[in-house]
Amino acid sequence: MKLAQHLVFGILLTLASTTPALNRAPIVVVMKLDGMINPAAADFIHSTLQHAEQIQAQCLVIELNTPGGLLKSTRVIVSDILGSPIPIIVYVAPSGAQAASAGVFVTLSANIAAMAPGTNIGAAHPVTVGEAQDSVMMQKATNDAAAFVRTIAEKRHRNVKWAEEAVRKSLSITETEALKKNVIDYIARDIPDLLKQVNNKQVITSEGPVVLETADARIETVEMNWQLHILDLLSDPNIAYILLMIGFYGILFELYNPGAIFPGVLGVISLLLALYALHTLPVNYAGLALIIFGVILFILDLKIASHGILTIGGVISLLLGSLMLINVQTPVEVVRVSLNVIIPTIIFTTLFFVFALGMAIRAQRKKPTTGIEGMIGEIGVALTRLAPVGQVRVRGEIWSAESISGPIDEGTAIEVVEVVDLRLKVKHIQTSNK
């Protein structure tokens, strides 16, 4: 009996000692960031990092492919990475991917930076329409971004000189050049190859040195949830711009056609979504005001005979407002409304107001041809003497009529001036009756 008890105790002791070992099996969390760096991307990285901390993952791998994005969102991401208690690996992949503009900041801030073959890293210093690149404000923004990237590079012991030139001179290099210049740490074919290379490497986190154990780690992939997908979609300035214009169209069409309901509902929903989207973007309110002013000019041209001058002003205002709508605060930001979206939208808007609303207003101003209102201005003949009341024939119908221009003899031509309680108010027409 005692032997059996000892045997059971030994088995339980063995299970108790092995269970923590199983729980401590290394886990690597992998997330993919493919697209613009915006508030949705920042929230995605933040929530994934929190999840990785909760499950005590060995590290978080961010598979990055971005043309850039908002510097404000980039600062949030970099702050999360630098303050992370677990190691962060930024892996520019797959082949053909890039870490451009704001992506440079994110890559350099990682504990370990890696790239796949056939990728590149560097700033995409865009030329902004209508902005002088040597302006004082742009120079200040460039200096600020350069100081920010130098701080990151110094913190991670990377090539500070190249990092600054990537911002100031828009330099871009391949993965092999990046490895030689101490911009990245590894070149890896895929995630498993990357994890093998970084195994047993020591990195410094916010809580001190950590040695990675990734050779046999279990990979857990985290996907962006549907709420962040919607936010990511709305954070696209092109989508925000299109929603803004649809909102204007819908509301205006509802105002000109009361009771249509659907255009009004669609317009309000689109406008609210546009305002929410613009809230996440660096909006230039002067540009937004110009867009609204342009729409007002289109409407006024339908009401006032300006011979097209107001329409021309509306087109110019809409074009300038569209170009200015997104305020590019630094030269490393590539968030803007595309000309491929702006030009067709302006053309469509112009045609919409010139033809569609113009036809609607002309139809409203057109003289009625049916019903009581259609009688006004019609020509008829007096069937009896109107002194002042009698009968007339208009449109082949006999009506009770009252003269407002004195007595009218039988057979005299008359014109309908007004209709009151089914009685026609008529006046004499100076024509001979033959």
Sign of torsion, CA 115 34 339 319? negative
Q: Which of 32, 73, 84, 101 does the annotation list as catalytic?
A: 101
Helix (H) or strand (E) holding 221: strand 218-222
Active-site residue, selected from the candidate residues 140, 155, 169, 180: 140
SS3 322: helix
Q: Are 22 and 51 in contact (CB under 8 A)?
A: no
Q: What are phi and psi of 188, to 5 degrees?
A: -130, 140
Rounded CA separation 48/39 (Å)? 14
Phi-psi region at 269: left, alpha or beta (left = phi > 0; alpha = psi -120 to 50): alpha
8 Å CB contact between 65 and 94: yes
CA 189 from chain center: how many Å? Answer: 34
Judge contact between 400 and 416, C-beta under 8 A: no
Asked about 303 being catalytic, the answer comes back as no
Q: Is 231 in contact with 40 (CB distance < 8 Å)?
A: yes
Could you identify the residue written with the tokens 């108010």?
425
- 338 flagged as catalytic: no
CA-based torsion, 12, 17, 20, 24: positive or negative:
negative
Q: What token pair was written down for 329?
A: 């605060």
Per-residue burial over 237-246, b = 16 or more CB atoms within 10 Å of its CB, e = otherwise: bbbbbbbbbb
Cα dihedral across residues 194, 223, 109, 127: positive or negative: positive
What is the Cα–Cα distance from 431 to 434, expressed in whole angstroms?
9
Distance (Å) of CA 237 to CA 282, 289, 348:
10, 17, 19
Tell me the sheet residues that pair with 416.
426
Query: What residues are labeled active site?
Result: 101, 140
